[in-house]
């Protein structure tokens, strides 16, 4: 760009500084007579011993900031070095930080802004979306972070009761990272290990120390927001107060059924002024969905409407509105592409950002940069805070090898639109590959045999434990008329024969009545015992009593796999839960595939190794570390299932019969007193007691689980692989985001809508077909994943680039575009009639050119291009351009 630095400063930087949101008054250095009178002034060409600074920021007579400006064409990242030089040469200093006399430094080219707080030598430069306001700078300067960090270092984390050791470590890691100047960090904790309680404890300490006054807790579902508000409000501080009595706790508006229980809990709605006019006296926690905050920052017209956020609107929120932001379940989207709106929300604020997840991924680490703490499922099992799982593999021939139908075999042919079925004899043989099972063909016999195999294990469990295990079955899909989930529910009812309420389907299908209520019923009531789902219970649902998880669907996402397994790992003291069981209905291939991709230490085996063999392996030094860990896990299971009679029996061998203490000390005892410890472990009577100790009376519970969002498992081919719909769309998203610079039609849709037309549309469709993304397959994928049949190609491209863009049908897009044109022009009756013909054409084509009026029958019947020119006159050609641009906008 040829824009000069002076133009950049006047056109871009001065405009930013003097905006109503920042309210800096710009004044030249020559016009300053008394610096003590500068209350909110940006002084141009301010003199220092090392040269004139482009801008010096004064608040209440104090020189708080230096801005070094460059023209738009210059990269602003490295220009901070000049601002540092001016800071060291500034007169009349308000402090000295290793030679720097001005604490807050900026460099900018009018668009990009980089910032450095020099007071802490651990701080590094960060990018900001805007400058700080005068009030924000004064607030930052007055904030005594050193005292706050000293408080955090000196005040024992142990003052908070009920914290587990690893939770204390997580809090300490966060505080250490903050002390080291980290602005972004990731905390990874296995599902079921108390992530929310850990972060609420951290929130209390950050508020109590004075490090933070305003904290934003971001989630991506209203139900999770409701859970977070309840968890924060019910947290008890070391002073014996509920956290919402010690500090203000706010949220957005909720509906009654957003809350799990039926109490009268009524969270307070955040006053708007707390966002738009943050003040030092404000100290609060705000729980919000990322969707609502997106609307607050960008407006509904920029991000699209979100369900249940109808009361939200755009607000003028300064970048210092929050000191700390916690992004819960951050693997689900906070790390979207840099242009993504979710990332925009996090980048908008000048705050410490803490990502919280059970399943860290590469893109999550790219967003939060520093993984400061990790607590894996394997370690949690070893420590006794989660239960381990056993694996059973079920081999189904058609799920491994596909299905082959011979000529003359009887088949049922189902009409996918009506559900009507007719019987027919095949006139020729047909072969279906394994990936087409439950996508193109189903086998009732296969489903019945898989459920019958499952019944053997549930019957055995019920006989041994006097309770039926709560069982969660993941189905392939819940499509109308050909629903795999429905077939499994029907088969379970037939095989088990325990009534209609024994089995339930919980998916996101419109046919499922009040799914959130059904989830609560599954968690809290005896029935149902078996729940069949697709995706609705993968995350955000806590049902500790689940003891069996059945995979009747293929899974390819590591994150999804770990989240699914996490449904079974939680402790459940009420039923003395020792473990849970997963059933891999693909001959163990899922377990093998994910063996090295998860934080589970998976060992697939038909039968558990006897305790005596594990003990002998330890005695013989065979893979000792591994076998000691196996033994500790077994002891943990025993400890979770012991009653008073068992503890009394174990007092003969271990102090007070305390199996937990014995397991906690086992590694140390084997290291320090190996001979004596092995003598006890090898004692046959002790081993017999470990196997046959008295069990407490069992309580019979019945329950079910559900997945969070419906997932249709139709498979799509990309290259040589078949993908699930969501994986197919993920690949499509990657394709769109990777190719704007290579495929001009994509770039036009994303950034140059005025150039949209029939040529661009033809090129786009061609490029998509060549890359195995046919428009028809993409529409099928969007219908299954997003429940949006017949999505138009423009919407699919835009949504792939930015998740907040709504998905429209061609008719919806054309209606909106034509309506916009009509609002901006006065048309007579003849012109409005022609607009109706144009709409008809555009719904099929999504672009229009002059030659279409001469070739398309819908126009030829009305007199073709000549008639169109007569009706619209000079408006004809501009109208075509306007229509194309409106369609692509």
Q: At what angle are helices 674-681 and 659-672 packed, to 10 degrees?
A: 130
- The Cα-based distances of 145 to 131, 151, 436 in angstroms read 21, 10, 60
- Structure tokens belonging to residue 315: 């607000």
- Structure tokens belonging to residue 323: 């000191």
Domain limits, the chain: 5-142, 146-375, 390-641+695-713, 716-808, 812-888
pLDDT for the residue 595: 65
- CA pair distance 554, 552, nearest whole angstrom: 7
326: burial class by Cβ within 10 Å (0-12, 13-18, 19+)? buried
Q: 401 with 434: CB under 8 angstroms?
A: yes
pLDDT for the residue 489: 93
- The b-or-e profile of 105-120 (16+ CB within 10 A means b, else e) is bbbbbbebbbbbbbbe
CB atoms within 10 A of CB 456: 10
CB atoms within 10 A of CB 651: 12
- Structure tokens belonging to residue 662: 């014995």
Q: 114 with 128: CB under 8 angstroms?
A: yes
Q: 865 with 853: CB under 8 angstroms?
A: yes
pLDDT for the residue 700: 22
- The Cα-based distances of 698 to 245, 396, 450, 467 in angstroms read 40, 34, 28, 7
Q: 245 with 234: CB under 8 angstroms?
A: no
- In the numeric block, the tokens 């499952």 are attached to 454
- Structure tokens belonging to residue 811: 């008719």
For every residue of 477-503, which 3-state class applies, written as one string? CCCCCCCHHHHHHHHHHHHHCCCHHHE
pLDDT for the residue 734: 85
The residues with which 48 forms a beta bridge, in sequence order, are: 51
The residues with which 423 forms a beta bridge, in sequence order, are: 412
- CA pair distance 806, 800, nearest whole angstrom: 10
- CA pair distance 450, 444, nearest whole angstrom: 10
The phi and psi torsions of 677 (rounded to 5 degrees) equal -65, -40
Give the number of C-alpha atoms closer than 13 A to the C-alpha of residue 635, restricted to the C-beta side.
Answer: 27
With CA atoms as reference, report the closest residue to 167 among 209, 199, 211, 215. 199
- Structure tokens belonging to residue 14: 């001065």
Q: Which segments of the chain have a pLDDT < 50?
A: 262, 305, 333-339, 598-607, 698-715, 720, 722
Q: Please give the CATH architecture assigned to the domain spanning 146-375.
A: 3-Layer(aba) Sandwich (3.40)
Angle at the Cα of 849 from the Cα atoms of 847 and 855, rounded to 5 degrees = 110
Q: 378 with 191: CB under 8 angstroms?
A: no
- CA pair distance 672, 669, nearest whole angstrom: 5
- CA pair distance 91, 47, nearest whole angstrom: 9
- CA pair distance 238, 625, nearest whole angstrom: 39
pLDDT for the residue 684: 93
With CA atoms as reference, report the closest residue to 634 among 666, 604, 656, 676. 666
- Structure tokens belonging to residue 240: 């014996």
Q: Is 58 helix (H, G, I), strand (E, B) or coil?
A: strand
- In the numeric block, the tokens 């860990």 are attached to 629
- The dihedral formed by the CA atoms of 499, 713, 332 and 473, expressed in degrees to the nearest 10: 30
pLDDT tens-digit map of 740-791:
766 888 888 888 888 888 888 888 888 887 787 878 778 878 887 888 888 8
Contacts of 556 (CB under 8 A, 6+ apart): 723, 724, 727
Please, what's the largest Cα pairwise distance for the chain? Answer: 105
Domains 5-142 and 146-375 share a fold: no
pLDDT for the residue 719: 57
pLDDT for the residue 84: 94
Domain 390-641+695-713, CATH among 3.30.160.60, 3.40.1380.10, 3.40.190.10, 3.40.50.300 = 3.40.50.300
With CA atoms as reference, report the closest residue to 196 among 241, 243, 150, 153. 243
Signed CA dihedral, 136, 137, 143, 145: sign only = positive
The residues with which 425 forms a beta bridge, in sequence order, are: 410
Q: Please give the CATH architecture assigned to the domain spanning 5-142.
A: Alpha-Beta Complex (3.90)
């Amino acid at each position: 760009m040829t824009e000069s630095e002076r133009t950049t400063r006047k056109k871009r930087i001065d405009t930013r500084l003097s905006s109503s949101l920042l309210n800096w008054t710009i004044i030249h250095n020559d016009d300053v007579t008394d610096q003590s009178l500068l209350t909110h002034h940006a002084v141009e060409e301010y003199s220092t011993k090392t040269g004139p600074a482009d801008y010096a920021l004064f608040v209440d007579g104090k020189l708080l900031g230096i801005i070094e400006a460059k023209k738009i064409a210059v990269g602003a990242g490295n220009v901070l070095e000049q601002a540092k030089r001016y800071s060291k040469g500034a007169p009349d200093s308000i402090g000295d930080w290793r030679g720097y006399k001005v604490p807050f430094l900026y460099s900018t080219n009018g668009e990009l802004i980089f910032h450095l707080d020099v007071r802490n030598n651990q701080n590094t430069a960060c990018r900001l979306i805007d400058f700080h306001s005068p009030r924000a700078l004064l607030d930052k300067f007055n904030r005594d972070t050193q005292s706050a960090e000293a408080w955090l270092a000196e005040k024992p984390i142990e003052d908070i009761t009920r914290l587990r050791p690893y939770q204390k470590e997580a809090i300490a890691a966060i505080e250490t990272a903050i002390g080291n100047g980290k602005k972004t960090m990731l905390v990874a904790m296995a599902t079921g290990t108390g992530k929310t309680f850990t972060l609420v404890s951290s929130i209390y300490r950050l508020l109590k120390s004075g490090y933070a006054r305003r904290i934003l807790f971001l989630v991506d579902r209203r139900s999770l927001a409701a859970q977070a508000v309840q968890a924060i409000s019910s947290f008890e501080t070391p002073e014996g107060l509920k956290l919402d009595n010690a500090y203000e706790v706010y949220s957005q508006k909720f509906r009654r059924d957003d809350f799990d229980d039926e109490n009268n809990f009524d969270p307070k709605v955040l006053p708007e002024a707390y966002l738009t006019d943050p003040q030092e006296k404000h100290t609060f926690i705000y729980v919000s969905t990322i969707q609502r905050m997106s609307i607050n920052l960008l407006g509904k017209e920029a991000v699209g409407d979100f369900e249940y956020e109808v009361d939200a609107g755009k607000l003028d929120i300064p970048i210092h509105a929050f000191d700390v932001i916690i992004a819960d379940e951050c693997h689900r989207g906070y790390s979207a592409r840099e242009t993504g709106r979710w990332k925009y929300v996090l980048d908008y604020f000048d705050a410490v950002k803490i990502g919280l997840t059970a399943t860290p991924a590469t893109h999550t680490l790219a967003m939060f940069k520093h993984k400061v703490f990790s607590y894996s499922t394997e370690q949690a099992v070893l420590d006794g805070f989660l239960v381990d799982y056993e694996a059973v593999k079920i081999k189904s021939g058609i799920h491994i090898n596909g299905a082959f139908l011979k000529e003359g075999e009887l088949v049922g042919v189902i009409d996918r639109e009506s559900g009507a079925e007719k019987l027919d004899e095949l006139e020729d043989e047909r072969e279906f590959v394994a990936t087409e099972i439950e996508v193109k063909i189903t086998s009732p016999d296969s489903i019945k045999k898989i459920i019958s195999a499952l019944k053997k294990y549930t019957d055995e469990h019920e006989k041994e434990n006097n309770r039926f295990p709560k069982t969660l079955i993941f189905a392939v899909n819940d499509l109308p008329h050909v629903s795999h989930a429905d077939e499994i529910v029907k088969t379970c009812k037939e095989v088990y024969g325990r009534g209609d309420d024994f089995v339930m389907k919980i998916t996101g299908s419109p046919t499922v009545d009040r799914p959130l209520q059904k989830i609560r019923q599954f968690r809290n009531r005896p029935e149902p015992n078996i729940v069949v789902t697709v995706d609705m219970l993968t995350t955000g649902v806590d049902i500790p009593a689940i003891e069996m998880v059945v995979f009747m669907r293929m899974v390819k996402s590591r994150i999804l796999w770990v989240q699914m397994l996490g449904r079974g790992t939680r402790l459940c003291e009420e039923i003395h839960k020792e473990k849970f069981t997963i059933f891999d209905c693909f001959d163990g291939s899922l377990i093998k595939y994910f063996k090295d991709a998860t934080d589970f230490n998976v060992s697939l085996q038909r039968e558990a190794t006897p305790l005596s063999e594990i003990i002998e392996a330890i005695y013989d030094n065979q893979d000792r570390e591994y076998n000691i860990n196996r033994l500790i896990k077994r002891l943990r299971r025993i400890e979770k299932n012991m009653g008073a009679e068992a503890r009394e029996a174990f007092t003969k061998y271990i102090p007070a019969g305390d199996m937990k203490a014995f397991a906690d000390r086992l590694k140390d005892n084997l290291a320090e007193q190996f001979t004596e410890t092995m003598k006890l472990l090898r004692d046959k009577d002790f081993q017999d007691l470990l196997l046959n100790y008295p069990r407490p009376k069992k309580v019979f519970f019945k329950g079910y689980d559900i997945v969070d969002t419906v997932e249709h498992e139709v498979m799509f081919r990309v290259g040589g692989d078949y993908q699930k719909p969501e994986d197919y769309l993920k690949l499509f998203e990657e394709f769109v985001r990777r190719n704007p610079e290579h495929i001009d039609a994509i770039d036009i849709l994303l950034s140059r809508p005025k150039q949209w037309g029939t040529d661009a549309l033809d090129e786009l469709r061609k490029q998509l077909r060549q890359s195995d993304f046919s428009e028809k397959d993409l529409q099928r994928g969007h219908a299954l994943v997003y429940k949006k049949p017949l999505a138009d190609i423009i919407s699919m491209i835009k949504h792939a680039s930015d998740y907040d863009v709504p998905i429209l049908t061609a008719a919806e897009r054309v209606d909106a575009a034509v309506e916009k044109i009509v609002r901006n022009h006065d048309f007579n009756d003849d012109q409005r009639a022609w607009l109706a013909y144009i709409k008809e054409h555009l719904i099929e084509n999504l672009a229009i050119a002059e030659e279409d009026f001469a070739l398309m029958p819908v126009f030829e019947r009305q007199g073709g291009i000549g008639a169109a020119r007569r009706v619209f006159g000079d408006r004809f050609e501009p109208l075509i351009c306007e229509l194309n641009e409106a369609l692509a906008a």
